[in-house]
Structure 1
Amino acid sequence: MKIGIIGSGDVAQALGAGFTAKGHQVLLGTSSPAKLADWKAANGAAQVGSFADAAAFGELVVLAVKGHAAVAAVKAAGAQALAGKVVIDACNPIADAPPVNGVLQFFTGPNESLLETLQAEFAAVRFVKAFNSVGSGFMIDPQFEGGAPTMFIAGNDAAAKATVSKLLSSVGWDSADMGAATAARAIEPLCMLWCISGLLRNEWAHAFKLVKPVAAR
Structure 2
Amino acid sequence: MNISILGAGRVGATLAKALADKGHAITLGHRDPQAGASRWQGPAVQHASLADAAAASAFVINALPGEAALQALKALEAALQGKVLLDVANATVRTADGMPGGLLYPDSSLAEQLQAALPQTRVVKALNTMLFTVMAAPHSLATPPTAFLSGNDAQAREQVKALLGELGWPAEWLLDLGPIESARATEAFILMVPRLIAARGFKPFALTVAG
**One fold, TM greater than 0.5?**
yes
Indicate how the Cα distance of structure 1 residues 138 and 28 shifts in structure 2: closer, same or farther if over 3 A, else same: same
The structure where strand makes up a greater share of residues is 2
Structure 1 residue 108 and structure 2 residue 109: aligned? no
CA RMSD in angstroms comes to: 2.0
1:194/1:207 contact within 8 Å kept: no
Structure 1 residue 37 and structure 2 residue 38: aligned? yes
2:74/2:117 contact within 8 Å kept: no
Within the candidate set 87, 93, 96, 1:95 is matched to 93
Cα distance in structure 2, aligned partners of 1:57 and 1:73: 16
Structure 1 residue 153 and structure 2 residue 142: aligned? no
2:197/2:203 contact within 8 Å kept: yes
Secondary structure class of the residue paired with 1:178: strand
Shift of 1:120: 0.8
Equivalent pairs counted in the alignment come to: 206
Larger radius of gyration: 1
Cα distance in structure 2, aligned partners of 1:124 and 1:17: 29
Question: Matches of residues 39-118 of structure 1 in structure 2 within 5 Å?
Answer: 39=40, 41-43=41-43, 45-76=44-75, 78-98=76-96, 104-109=101-106, 111-118=107-114
2:15/2:136 contact within 8 Å kept: yes
Structure 1 residue 162 and structure 2 residue 161: aligned? no
Shift of 1:192: 2.4
1:6/1:73 contact within 8 Å kept: no
Cα distance in structure 1, aligned partners of 2:200 and 2:141: 19
* Residue segments in structure 1 that go unaligned for 5+ positions in a row: 213-217
Question: Matches of residues 117-156 of structure 1 in structure 2 within 5 Å?
Answer: 117-142=113-138, 143-147=140-144, 149-156=145-152
Cα distance in structure 1, aligned partners of 2:96 and 2:164: 32
Indicate how the Cα distance of structure 1 residues 66 and 179 shifts in structure 2: closer, same or farther if over 3 A, else same: same
* Residue segments in structure 2 that go unaligned for 5+ positions in a row: none
Cα distance in structure 1, aligned partners of 2:45 and 2:122: 24
Give the TM-score, by structure 2 length: 0.89
Give the TM-score, by structure 1 length: 0.87
